[in-house]
Amino acid sequence: MKAVDSRDIPERILVVEDEQIVALDIRLHLERFGYTVVGIFPEAEQAIDFLEENRDTLPDLVIMDIHLQGEMDGVEASEIIRERHDIPVVYMTAYADEATLARAKVTEPFAYIIKPFEERELRTALVLAMHRHRMSLALREREQLLSRVMEAVTSGILVTDGSGTVRYSNSQVEGLARVDVSAGTSIDTVIPVQLLRELSNTLSGDATTGSVQWERTGAEETMETIEIRVFSLPPQFPGKVWLLTDLTERLNRERALREQEEQLSYSRRMEAVGRMAGGLAHDFNNLVTVMLGYARLALEDVVDYPDLKELRENVQGLYDTAHRSAELTRRLLTVSRVPASARVLFAPDELLKETLPMIEGVLRENIQLHATGHAGAVKVSADKRGMQQVLINLALNARDAMPRGGIVHLTTETVQIESSLATYSRTLEPGSYVLISVADTGEGIAPDDLPHVFEPFFTTKDELQGSGFGLATVYSVISDADGAVSVSSTIGRGTRFSLYLPVEEGPMEAGISTPDPEAAEDLRGSGTVLVVEEESGVRGMLVRTLRTHGYSPVSARSVGEGLLLLDHFAGCELIVTDLSAPYHTTSEIVSLFRNASPRARVVLLLGGEPVDAGQDATLLKPFEPAQLLRALRRLNGTA
């Protein structure tokens, strides 16, 4: 006889048999096989009570006669044992009618032993029953593990048969599909029919997988994206596996990352163009300064000659053009960089009130202006004069977008940003901001042009209408105020510019004052003035202006030449300079002149940001001759 593998032998068996001789015979066989008989009971109730009392040491198998003493037969007892203790049951019977067998099948017995039995039959039935039970337990464990895995994943999983009927679904499916799903549900009640058609097309031919994206409106009117992937099962298992994955958060992160990358790229482009604009402005400043100076001198030369009216008008045209050129250079410098010293604290509502007359002046009669300030007394820190230019530029843009008339809405309000907000210029952090909105009812901006509107030199207007610096100035002024700007537009409906400035605390400060327009005044003076200027055109214009107005100018092209001249003109008390020198800072150059002529007053001409180098006065290029003459009279004590 072949030895039985001990791993297939249950150690403990309970016998339920009402015939005592048969029960003892079974016991002898079992013990000979190596099993331990934990008990023999003639009634089912006794066996059930025994199991209840010994839950910690349950047997591995129960041999159960179908026909027993008492009110409960073996079939009923087996059903109770299976439900309560999950112990395999082997039926033993000498006879059974069809009805009894049908009842027995429901309890899923692990084997049948027909009395009388051979020893080999008993042993085989026990070994197979126990093996089947172990396989059943292993299968159940795998199913439980698979179920836990299915429930742990964040995706929804569906399994359908060949007819599209759901055979399995995890709990995530209902949340993603927003319908009740259970075994027997049709797949077309879970996934929209149109998407099923698209998936059907992707599975044509030899393809076994396919996917589509389900775009739909989610909570709070936000867009959700659900990816649906389908996998065909092998031919021997007709059906499909469906995987539903919520891509909304991932796509939002990717979109935010792209926006940040675009902002960074845009900022770098703006920085590069700004540096170029700054360089252009520096050179252009000198040219415009010369044009303004000579045009002013020419006007003064012909003002007393009525017969030269036509010539005076021509020079006036040149002078006005030079003024417009000066404004263009100021925009170039703004695009390059707004000086930090220009930032002051002010209330946006006050700014709106002060700027409205200027805005009304640039709008046509067929355009209505609706302006409301809701920001109250809150303050922001920015270049106030630059902010006025920002509002005027946006108003001009709105005007040009409405050739047949329309409405410009200009509003201020405070807003609380709860989470990071991506804009064209930067991502705003949570906090309190003043939102300045300028909206029009004009033609709108084409989608292809919208990403470029803040770039210097970019314009959609006729070359005689736009310079391409209006919105670039807006971008620079707002960015240098630690704010952000965004734009939205719809063709045929209009455009809205939104300016965000962080709310600041602190006392109000006065901004840089703007000189009054030139009036009739005595600008003449006297004394020796040293002019140190590298640019010959500017130097010549300054010398002529000073000489025309009573001064005795001497000029130098460099620091060294200027210091030598001071040795010969000991009485020189005024120095006008715009220069640089190797190995010397602006402050060191001013100190060199003061050491050479302690009584001298220094006027510094700058083409860029204001600096404090110890000078007595500062003029920013381009400037008019009258501004220089006023500064000299003030320093001489004659103003």
| Residue 363 shares a structural domain with residue 483 | yes
What is the pTM assigned to this prediction?
0.42
The DSSP H or E segment spanning 502 is: strand 494-504
Residue 218: partners with Cβ closer than 8 Å, 6 or more residues away:
224, 248
CATH number at residue 479: 3.30.565.10
Q: Does any domain span residue 513? A: no
| Residue 136 shares a structural domain with residue 173 | no
Q: What does the pLDDT average to over 593-600?
A: 84
Are the C-beta atoms of 375 and 348 separated by less than 8 Å?
yes
Most confident of 251-265, 271-285, 560-574: 560-574
Q: Does any domain span residue 516? A: no
| Residue 541 shares a structural domain with residue 492 | no
| Residue 544 shares a structural domain with residue 493 | no
| Residue 139 shares a structural domain with residue 210 | no
Q: Does any domain span residue 520? A: no
Q: Does any domain span residue 139? A: yes
Q: What does the pLDDT average to over 143-170?
A: 83
Q: Which of 526, 544, 543, 445 is nearest to 486 (CA)?
A: 445
Q: 467 or 105: whose pLDDT is higher?
A: 105
Q: 302 or 157: whose pLDDT is higher?
A: 157
| Residue 69 shares a structural domain with residue 48 | yes
| Residue 498 shares a structural domain with residue 409 | yes
Q: Can you give the pLDDT at residue 410?
A: 94
| Residue 397 shares a structural domain with residue 484 | yes
Residue 136 CB neighbour total at 10 angstroms: 14
Q: Does any domain span residue 515? A: no
Q: Is residue 507's pLDDT more than 70?
A: no
Q: Can you give the pLDDT at residue 439?
A: 93
Q: What does the pLDDT average to over 550-570?
A: 86
Total structural domains in the chain?
5
Span 284-334, pLDDT tens digits: 777 777 788 787 878 777 777 777 778 877 778 777 777 777 766 665 555
Q: Which of 325-329, 429-433, 533-537 has the lowest mean pLDDT?
A: 325-329
Which of residues 96, 130, 148 is at a domain's end?
Answer: 148
| Residue 118 shares a structural domain with residue 171 | no
Q: Is 365 helix (H, G, I), strand (E, B) or coil?
A: coil
Are the C-beta atoms of 461 and 469 separated by less than 8 Å?
no
The boundaries of the domain holding residue 262 are 255-334
Q: Does any domain span residue 98? A: yes
Which of residues 317, 334, 351 is at a domain's end?
Answer: 334
**Is 318 exposed, middle or buried, given 0-12, 13-18 or 19+ CB atoms closer than 10 A?**
middle
Q: Is residue 512's pLDDT more than 60?
A: no
Q: Which of 49-58, 199-208, 336-345, 361-370 has the lowest mean pLDDT?
A: 336-345
| Residue 479 shares a structural domain with residue 418 | yes
In angstroms, what CA-CA distances link 475 with 144, 270, 271, 390, 500? 60, 9, 11, 9, 11
In the chain, the percentage of residues whose pLDDT exceeds 70 is 83
Q: 619 or 14: whose pLDDT is higher?
A: 14
Which of residues 113, 148, 183 is at a domain's end?
Answer: 148
Q: Can you give the pLDDT at residue 494?
A: 92
Q: Is 581 helix (H, G, I), strand (E, B) or coil?
A: strand
Q: What does the pLDDT average to over 555-575?
A: 83
Span 37-90, pLDDT tens digits: 999 999 989 999 999 999 888 999 999 988 888 888 888 888 898 889 888 889
